[in-house]
């Protein structure tokens, strides 16, 4: 089987297979194998000279019975992952996400050549969150580029095409053929094969599939010529669709096309479920590929699109399809027991772009409860307008409802469009009876003017104690506006997070001035901003003033080196209000650790919590840490997690901690927990019962180790 295409190598097979460690077998499309249940684990064979069926050979390779030293690269869709896990020995799984956003942008630039056209097309695809997700597949990017480029060349407006995935795929299909081509029969044959394959969870078609569906190879030639269908280079009788999403689109066409009288409308003869079954929750759970096909079917209920398809292929769309959709459980109020079901209905209705259909379905609902993300916004906006409800208005109404509301003290708005929300929020903050104590505006889009308005509202507010502005493109300009508020004598803000707000070292000079005059600010998070050593130096100048009240400072992942640590060490040796410091994920080096430890050894050092997670601290730096721990009387938390301390470094620390001390929490990474360390740990428990040693079983990447301690 391996050398079928290279018969001249037949005599070399024994020599080649004798060096199995140098062989790579690529099994592309495990999910398309279609082997009977259990076939891969029956009659497992270790002798490659025996003739065996393909499933047996494949199972023998996967179970490492045959050529165990060879390397196997297996690709599969998620639906077959469970079967692969059952049969594969010691696999390593890698999830391939497809094109990143930067890859998609680069693809568009290469395809169009003209940068202006490419970026216009790219932004159109990005404006449709669902289509943009599909665009992670290179084939879908090709479809989008091909379609939009042709429209631009004709002087047509491509914007309406990208409104829905159905509209884009339909325009692509119609653009490949001249109007009036009279290809109804060929299109019907292709859609039948697509539906048959989708229900069987197969995207590769074989000769027997064509025969069972009554389709001739000649029916497919037009689609092969246009890359809608592809023929295997080796097995000429095997065909596959350009992408799963296009197979799903063609499956929807199977249901939408009007059938001839003698045809089996519901597809029973081909093991294809009817429309009701296609859209049922049970079938979608068993076969998730049906979900997108259902959305496309709603998209094909649009009368304008129907006319374009009919004009191109000379076919007729079923006049009953809209009524069939209305009769399905998904379109009825009692068919939605979960929020996911309701979201799916909104996506389907959005694909249709049919006002009357949406009105009829939405009329059933008197009350709807949803958690919306970016992908949900367009479908919900389109559907809710028929109930006189808009998500942006809902956010605004929520904010306005909080005016004077004494029991609501915490509010977080994440990833929202601030164009409509921020003015309402500012109105809430300025209200004399506002009782909000915590405000989170995370990953929100806002203009400089809107940040200015928010700063003024914060200045007028008397209740807020904690504000989280993480992951906003605040920049130095926006931060300066906020600092004006913090300098106000009646600003009562105590905790502020500016994590990942694109601040620079230059910004720290203005911030240092704030630290000197602010009467209330005690906790400040500046994580994930490139402040560098210069920025730290500016901050330390402000922190050194006796008027400064700051107690906790987060400088996680701020591009700080040993020079920045020198500035901090100098500050810590003096009388300072700073008691908690997070320097995690900064490459402070051996020198940085040394100067910090020297500061910890000084009697005036007031530091209670120090986080040095992921700072590349080597084993020999533990000697400096041990020296500091021996004489420090204030430190209660020390985080050394994700540092390569080694057994020798951990041993030094444990030996020091067997003596009574003030430390209450120690986090560190232990690669080899040997008997000697176990013995020392028992001694620590006896002499320091208050000390908790955390050996990093949690995932600190998901949540910054100091985040709980800083309550931000």
The pLDDT value recorded for residue 487 is 92
CA–CA distance, 606 with 633 (Å, rounded to integer)? 9
The DSSP secondary structure of 346-399, one letter per residue, reads HHHHHHHT-HHHHHHHHTT-S-------HHHHHHHHHHHGGGT--HHHHHHHHH
Q: Which helix (H) or strand (E) holds 441?
A: strand 438-442
pLDDT band at residue 415 under the 50/70/90 scheme:
low
Q: Same CATH fold, 524-712 and 390-502?
A: yes
Percent of the chain with pLDDT over 70: 89
Cβ contacts of 196 within 8 Å, gap of 6 or more:
209, 212, 213, 270, 271, 272
CA–CA distance, 585 with 642 (Å, rounded to integer)? 9
As a three-state string, the secondary structure of 472-539 is CCCHHHHHHHHHHHHCCCCCCCCEEECCCCCCECCHHHHHHHHHHHCCCCCEEECCCCECHHHHHHHH
Token pair recorded at residue 534: 């210069």
CA–CA distance, 658 with 682 (Å, rounded to integer)? 9
CA R_g for the chain: 32
Residue of higher predicted confidence among 18 and 344: 344
Q: What is the DSSP letter of 462?
A: S
CA–CA distance, 532 with 545 (Å, rounded to integer)? 21
Cβ contacts of 493 within 8 Å, gap of 6 or more:
458, 464, 465, 466, 467, 485, 486, 520, 521
pLDDT tens digits, one per residue of 568-619: 999 999 989 999 999 999 999 999 999 999 999 999 999 999 999 999 999 9
pLDDT tens digits, one per residue of 346-357: 999 999 999 889
**Cα dihedral value 557, 562, 567, 571, nearest 10:** 80
Do 225 and 269 contact (CB within 8 A), yes or no? Answer: no
CA–CA distance, 692 with 184 (Å, rounded to integer)? 74
Do 162 and 127 contact (CB within 8 A), yes or no? Answer: yes
- To 10 degrees, what angle do helices 562-572 and 532-543 make? 10
Q: Say yes or no to pLDDT of 85 above 90.
A: no
Mean pLDDT of 117-123: 94
Return the half-sphere exposure (C-beta side, CA atoms, 13 A cut-off) of residue 7.
0
Q: Which helix (H) or strand (E) holds 110?
A: helix 101-112
Token pair recorded at residue 546: 């006796």
The pLDDT value recorded for residue 268 is 47
CA–CA distance, 696 with 694 (Å, rounded to integer)? 6
**Which of 46-55, 189-198, 230-239, 371-380 tops mean pLDDT?**
189-198
Domain 524-712 sits in CATH at 3.80.10.10
pLDDT band at residue 143 under the 50/70/90 scheme:
very high
pLDDT tens digits, one per residue of 129-142: 889 999 999 999 99
The CATH architecture to which 390-502 belongs is Alpha-Beta Horseshoe (3.80)
Angle at Cα 95 formed by Cα 92 and Cα 99, nearest 5°? 145
Burial state string for 544-558 with b = 16 or more CB within 10 A and e = fewer than 16: beeebebbbbbbbbb
CA–CA distance, 474 with 147 (Å, rounded to integer)? 38
pLDDT tens digits, one per residue of 625-654: 999 999 999 999 999 998 999 999 999 999
How close are the terminal C-alpha atoms of the chain, in Å?
61
Average model confidence (pLDDT) across the chain? 86
Q: Is the dihedral of CA 99, 278, 172, 177 positive or negative?
A: positive
Delimit the domains of the chain by residue range. 7-87, 101-163, 184-387, 390-502, 524-712
Do 347 and 381 contact (CB within 8 A), yes or no? Answer: no
- pTM for the structure as a whole: 0.57
pLDDT band at residue 1 under the 50/70/90 scheme:
low
The pLDDT value recorded for residue 265 is 46
Residue ranges of alpha helices (H) inside 544-692 are: 562-572, 589-600, 622-631, 646-657, 675-687
CA–CA distance, 161 with 221 (Å, rounded to integer)? 27
SS3 (DSSP) at 600: helix
Cβ contacts of 711 within 8 Å, gap of 6 or more:
466, 495, 523
Cβ contacts of 188 within 8 Å, gap of 6 or more:
254, 257, 315
pLDDT tens digits, one per residue of 181-231: 778 888 999 999 999 999 988 888 888 888 877 888 888 888 999 989 988
The pLDDT value recorded for residue 142 is 96
Do 418 and 446 contact (CB within 8 A), yes or no? Answer: yes
**Which of 70-79, 267-276, 279-288, 399-408 tops mean pLDDT?**
279-288
Beta strand extents in 110-219 (DSSP E only): 204-205
CA distances from 123 to 129, 131, 164, 186, 710 (A): 11, 11, 14, 34, 39
């Amino acid at each position: 089987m391996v050398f079928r295409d290279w018969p001249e190598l037949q005599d070399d097979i024994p020599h080649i297979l004798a060096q199995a460690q140098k062989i790579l077998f690529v099994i592309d499309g495990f999910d398309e194998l279609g082997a009977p249940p259990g076939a891969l684990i029956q009659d497992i064979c270790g002798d490659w000279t025996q003739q065996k069926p393909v499933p047996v050979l494949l199972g023998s390779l996967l179970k490492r019975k045959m050529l165990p030293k060879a390397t196997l690269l297996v690709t599969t869709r998620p639906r077959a992952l469970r079967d692969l896990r059952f049969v594969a020995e010691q696999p390593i799984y890698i999830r391939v996400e497809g094109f990143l956003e930067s890859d998609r942008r680069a693809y568009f630039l290469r395809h169009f050549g003209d940068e202006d056209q490419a970026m216009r097309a790219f932004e159109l695809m990005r404006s449709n969150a669902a289509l943009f997700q599909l665009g992670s597949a290179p084939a879908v990017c090709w479809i989008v580029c091909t379609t939009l480029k042709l429209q631009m060349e004709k002087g047509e407006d491509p914007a309406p095409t990208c409104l829905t995935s159905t509209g884009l795929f339909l325009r692509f299909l119609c653009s490949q053929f001249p109007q009036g081509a009279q290809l109804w029969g060929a299109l019907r044959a292709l859609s039948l094969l697509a539906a048959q394959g989708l229900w069987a969870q197969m995207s590769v078609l074989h000769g027997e599939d064509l025969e069972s569906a009554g389709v001739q190879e000649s029916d497919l030639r037009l689609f092969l010529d246009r890359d809608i269908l592809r023929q295997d280079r080796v097995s000429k009788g095997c065909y596959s669709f350009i992408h799963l999403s296009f197979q799903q689109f063609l499956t929807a066409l199977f249901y939408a096309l009007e059938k001839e009288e003698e045809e089996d409308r519901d597809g029973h003869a081909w093991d294809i479920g009817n429309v009701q079954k296609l859209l049922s929750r049970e079938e979608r759970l068993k076969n998730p590929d049906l979900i997108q096909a259902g959305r496309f079917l709603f998209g094909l209920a649009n009368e304008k699109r129907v006319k374009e398809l009919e004009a191109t292929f000379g076919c007729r769309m079923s006049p009953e399809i809209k009524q069939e959709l209305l009769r399905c459980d998904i379109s009825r109020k009692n068919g939605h027991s979960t929020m996911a079901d309701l979201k799916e209905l909104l996506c389907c209705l959005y694909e249709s772009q049919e006002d009357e259909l949406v009105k009829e379905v939405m009329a059933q609902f008197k009350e709807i409860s949803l958690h919306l993300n970016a992908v949900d916004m367009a479908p919900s906006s389109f559907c809710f307008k028929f109930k006189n409800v808009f998500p942006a208005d809902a956010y605004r109404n929520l904010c306005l409802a909080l005016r004077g509301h004494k029991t609501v003290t915490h509010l977080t708005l994440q990833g929202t469009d601030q164009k409509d929300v921020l003015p309402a929020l500012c109105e809430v903050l300025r209200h004399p009876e506002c009782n909000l104590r915590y405000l989170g505006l995370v990953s929100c889009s806002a203009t400089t003017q809107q940040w200015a308005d928010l700063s003024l509202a914060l200045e007028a507010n008397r209740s807020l104690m904690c504000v989280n502005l993480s992951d906003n493109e605040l920049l130095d300009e926006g931060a300066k506006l906020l600092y004006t508020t913090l300098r106000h004598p009646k600003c009562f803000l105590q905790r502020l997070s500016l994590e990942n707000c694109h601040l620079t070292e230059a910004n720290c000079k203005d911030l240092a001035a704030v630290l000197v005059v602010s009467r209330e600010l005690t906790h400040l998070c500046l994580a994930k901003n490139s402040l560098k050593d210069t920025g730290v130096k500016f901050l330390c100048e402000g922190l050194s003033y006796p008027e400064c009240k700051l107690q906790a400072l987060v400088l996680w992942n701020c591009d700080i080196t040993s020079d920045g640590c020198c500035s901090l060490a100098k500050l810590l040796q003096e009388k300072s209000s700073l008691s908690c410091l997070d320097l995690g994920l900064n490459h402070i080096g051996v020198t940085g650790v040394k100067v910090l430890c020297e500061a910890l050894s000084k009697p005036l050092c007031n530091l209670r919590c120090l986080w040095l997670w992921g700072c590349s601290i080597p084993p020999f730096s533990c000697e400096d840490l041990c020296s500091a721990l021996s004489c420090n009387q204030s430190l209660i938390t020390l985080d050394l997690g994700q540092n390569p301390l080694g057994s020798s470094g951990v041993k030094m620390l444990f030996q020091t901690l067997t003596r009574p001390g003030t430390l209450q929490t120690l986090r560190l990474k232990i690669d080899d927990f040997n008997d000697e360390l176990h013995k020392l740990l028992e001694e620590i428990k006896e002499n320091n019962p208050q000390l908790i040693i955390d050996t990093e079983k949690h995932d600190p990447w998901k949540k910054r180790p100091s985040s709980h301690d800083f309550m931000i």
